[in-house]
Amino acid sequence: MAEPTPALPWDEPKAVIASVQQRVLRGMVWSIAGYGVIQVLLWHTRPVDSRPVISYAFEAILLTGLTLQYLGLNRLNIRQNGILFISWLGLIDLMVWTTSGPEMGSAIALVCTILVALFFINKRAGAVVVGTFGLYIILHAVLVGRGVLQPYSSMTQRPVTTLLMLRAGLSAFGVLAVGFAIFAQIHHVLFQSLSQMAEERRRRDQAEAAHRKAEEIMRANQHFEALGKLASGVAHDVNNALTVVLGNAELLKLGLPPGEKQMFAQDILTAAKSAAQTTRQLLSLTRHSGHQPVQTDPALVARSVSRLVSRLLSEHIRLEVECHSRRSVLVDPADLHQALLNLLLNARDAVPSGGVIHLRTEDDESGGVRVSVSDNGRGIPAEVRSRIFEPFFTTKPAGQGTGLGLAMVRTFAEDAAGRVSADNLPAGGACFTLTFPACPAPAPIVAPPPRTVRPVQNILLVEEQPDLRQLMQRVMQGDGHQVTGVTGVGDALQRLQAGEKYQLLCADLQPDGQQVLNLIVEFQRDRASAPVLLSTGHAHPLLAGGRLPRPGVQVINKPFTGTEYLTRVQQMILAERP
């Protein structure tokens, strides 16, 4: 069964030409082999006495050349095969010309030799073959004229002179030279066409690859967006529950005397805050989480994180901190803290048997700030380097990594108008670098004189979760405020449209943000800057990029403790008073 013809390698024009040359070379070898077999069989059908002596040399060269050529097909490159081809085929040409002169057999052999030189080597090799043949015609004519060699068999019937030999030979040479020029032009056009076809195919393949890559990116973005929406919805429900747990655990702790029972309440608070940090990481992947960027000294955050991480390192791992930065950056300090914590823990896992971790902050020569974490471990494998920032991609064993740490770092850096990069160090290990634009120092703020809050404020609270609404009412009423709690935006609108007056609106930012926005407009109808405190436990489009829907509106992210919520309420009431 014949082997299937391999497809052409269209990726590179030279590879296409080499493939075509390889196929033509095999075809020529088998064609000449077929002719050689027939010629040898014809010679062996004649009586031994009638065979010319030169036919034995011809047979030996033909069989030896074909054998070497067959062995070299898969061992030599195209150029080497071409040189081998014209070596033994050229000898046959000289022998055929010497005995037969300008006849059909010698013409075919010469044309084959020129084609081999032209197609498998280059035009110069073809020209050398033609020139060498021309010189041999002259030499042969001179030797025949002096009687050293016998004339052609077709010239035995008339006197043979050197001039006659030259005329016959140079006439054939002229035809051969014209044929070479035509073959050279065909060779040029053919190779140019092959190159153009290969280039067009390569460009088409590149375009198709780019199209497939764009589709993969689009699908990945759609998957990422769907994942973000799912995480946002889950975080909303979880944060509502955590807010209830945090608020009631704090009230329980404040109501208990110092001792073991108060420690139990503190353990509840600690566990709930840990769960809140997990939901915060999930929300950070959506790129619309509630960040609160402020002017931050990265050196202070780096030192704070290093103190925490140093307690998590074994005695064989040394953490070195170098803080040389003098500039500030505009980031959420909690996000920067979490990003550095993720990088440091990854660096710790990269040196399980011991090593050195460097945490460095320094001013960038371009006016920004660089924060880097490096280790002297094994570095980042090349096969995973392009995927390390993908969500849920991890190289750690099952159960030891979520794949969210580096994804959160990248999202945080991009949201802060910065970037993150990962590189392998020449001496071994990896280095992750966060780069942020510097934040200009703000004008000094003159603190206003201390003011007291009137104990009674009329507050409208909108929260659909009964347990959470009761907790927030309990906290604000405990501070002396009058709180009217309603379950939905519709009830709140009815009260406002009925003429009820409130100094502060506290509302949960529900998924349908337009209804809440309509409520804010109605509440601020008489006072454009009337204070509104929105609470949210998920990523909401109205807050994308840190925007606020109306003047006088502030946002507090769930989960929060009762003390945190009450502090924000008091600050807004103070800011509203003249």
Start-end of H helices in 365-424: 405-415
Long-range own/partner contacts, residues 177-180 (CB < 8 A, 24 or more apart): 177/130, 177/134, 179/111, 179/114, 180/114, 180/118, 180/126, 180/127, 180/130
Instruction: Give CA torsion, residues 363, 365, 369, 375, to 10 deg.
Output: -80
- Per the confidence metrics, is the pTM higher than 0.85? no
Which of 183-187, 306-310, 317-321 holds the top average pLDDT? 317-321
Q: Report pLDDT for 5.
A: 46
DSSP 525-539: SS-TT--EEEEESS-
Q: Report pLDDT for 445.
A: 41
* Gap between the Cα atoms of 284 and 298, Å rounded: 20
* Residue 343 burial by Cβ neighbours in a 10 Å radius (0-12, 13-18, 19+): buried
Q: Report pLDDT for 360.
A: 93
Q: Report pLDDT for 321.
A: 92
Cα 368 to Cα 166, 298, 410, 440, 494, distances in angstroms: 86, 12, 17, 11, 52
Q: Report pLDDT for 485.
A: 92
* Gap between the Cα atoms of 59 and 36, Å rounded: 8
Assess contact for 204 and 507: CB atoms under 8 A. Answer: no
Which of 46-50, 194-198, 236-240, 310-314 holds the top average pLDDT? 310-314
Which pLDDT band holds residue 250 (cuts at 50, 70, 90)?
confident
CA-based nearest residue to 432, from 472, 375, 377, 390:
375
pLDDT, mean of residues 232-248: 78
* Gap between the Cα atoms of 278 and 559, Å rounded: 11
pLDDT, mean of residues 497-519: 84
pLDDT in tens, 119-162: 788 888 888 888 888 888 888 888 887 777 777 766 655 677 77
Q: Report pLDDT for 341.
A: 87
DSSP state of 157: T
Assess contact for 503 and 482: CB atoms under 8 A. Answer: no
Least confident span in 74-78, 129-133, 184-188: 184-188
576: CB partners within 8 A, 6+ apart:
503, 504, 529, 530, 531
Q: Degrees (nearest 5) of the Cα angle 427, 431, 436?
A: 145
Q: Report pLDDT for 373.
A: 93
Q: Report pLDDT for 447.
A: 45
* Gap between the Cα atoms of 187 and 118, Å rounded: 8
For the cut 80, the answer to whether the pLDDT of residue 394 exceeds it is: no
For the cut 50, the answer to whether the pLDDT of residue 3 exceeds it is: no
Assess contact for 547 and 533: CB atoms under 8 A. Answer: no
Stretch(es) of the chain classified as CATH 3.30.565.10? 294-439
CA-based nearest residue to 275, from 463, 537, 474:
537
Q: Give percent of the chain with pLDDT exceeding 70.
A: 82
For the cut 50, the answer to whether the pLDDT of residue 453 exceeds it is: no
Q: Report pLDDT for 2.
A: 43
pLDDT, mean of residues 382-409: 69
Q: Quick count: other Cβ atoms within 10 Å of Cβ 506?
A: 26
* Residue 363 burial by Cβ neighbours in a 10 Å radius (0-12, 13-18, 19+): middle
Q: Give percent of the chain with pLDDT exceeding 90.
A: 8
Backbone angles phi, psi at 110, to 5 degrees: -65, -40
pLDDT in tens, 359-388: 999 998 888 899 999 999 888 887 777 777
Which residues make beta-bridge pairs with 322?
Answer: 360
Least confident span in 4-8, 246-250, 430-434: 4-8
Strands 317-323 and 294-296 come out as unpaired
Amino acid letter, residue 456: V
* Gap between the Cα atoms of 130 and 109, Å rounded: 12
Q: Which helix (H) or strand (E) holds 554?
A: strand 553-557
Residue with tokens 């003011």, as numbered in its chain: 451
Which pLDDT band holds residue 219 (cuts at 50, 70, 90)?
confident
* Gap between the Cα atoms of 311 and 303, Å rounded: 13
Which of 8-12, 437-441, 495-499 holds the top average pLDDT? 495-499
In the CATH scheme, what is the code of domain 458-576? 3.40.50.2300
What the block records as the tokens of 46 is: 């004649």
Cα 472 to Cα 156, 228, 238, 479, 560, distances in angstroms: 126, 28, 17, 11, 11
pLDDT, mean of residues 415-444: 82
Q: Report pLDDT for 8.
A: 47
Q: Which helix (H) or strand (E) holds 318?
A: strand 317-323
For the cut 70, the answer to whether the pLDDT of residue 452 exceeds it is: no
Which pLDDT band holds residue 435 (cuts at 50, 70, 90)?
very high
Task: Work out the mean pLDDT of the chain and round it to a whole number.
Answer: 78
Assess contact for 150 and 190: CB atoms under 8 A. Answer: no
pLDDT, mean of residues 354-362: 92
Q: Report pLDDT for 444.
A: 46
CA-based nearest residue to 337, from 376, 379, 307:
307
CA-based nearest residue to 130, from 166, 177, 175:
177
Which pLDDT band holds residue 434 (cuts at 50, 70, 90)?
very high
Full 3-state SS string of 449-511: CCCCCCCCCEEEEECCCHHHHHHHHHHHHHCCCEEEEECCHHHHHHHHHCCCCCCEEEEECCC
Instruction: Give CA torsion, residues 153, 156, 159, 163, to 10 deg.
Output: 0
Sheet holding 504-508, edge to edge: 482-486, 458-462, 504-508, 532-536, 553-557
**Class of the domain covering 294-439:** alpha beta
* Gap between the Cα atoms of 267 and 482, Å rounded: 32
Amino acid letter, residue 308: L
Residue with tokens 């104990």, as numbered in its chain: 455
Q: Report pLDDT for 546.
A: 45
Q: Report pLDDT for 34.
A: 82
For the cut 80, the answer to whether the pLDDT of residue 349 exceeds it is: yes
Stretch(es) of the chain classified as CATH 3.40.50.2300? 458-576
For the cut 70, the answer to whether the pLDDT of residue 66 exceeds it is: yes
Cα 479 to Cα 156, 318, 517, distances in angstroms: 134, 49, 28
Which pLDDT band holds residue 322 (cuts at 50, 70, 90)?
very high
Which of 22-36, 70-84, 312-326 holds the top average pLDDT? 312-326
Q: Report pLDDT for 543.
A: 55
Side-chain-side CA neighbours of residue 103 (13 Å): 14
Which residues make beta-bridge pairs with 372?
Answer: 360, 433
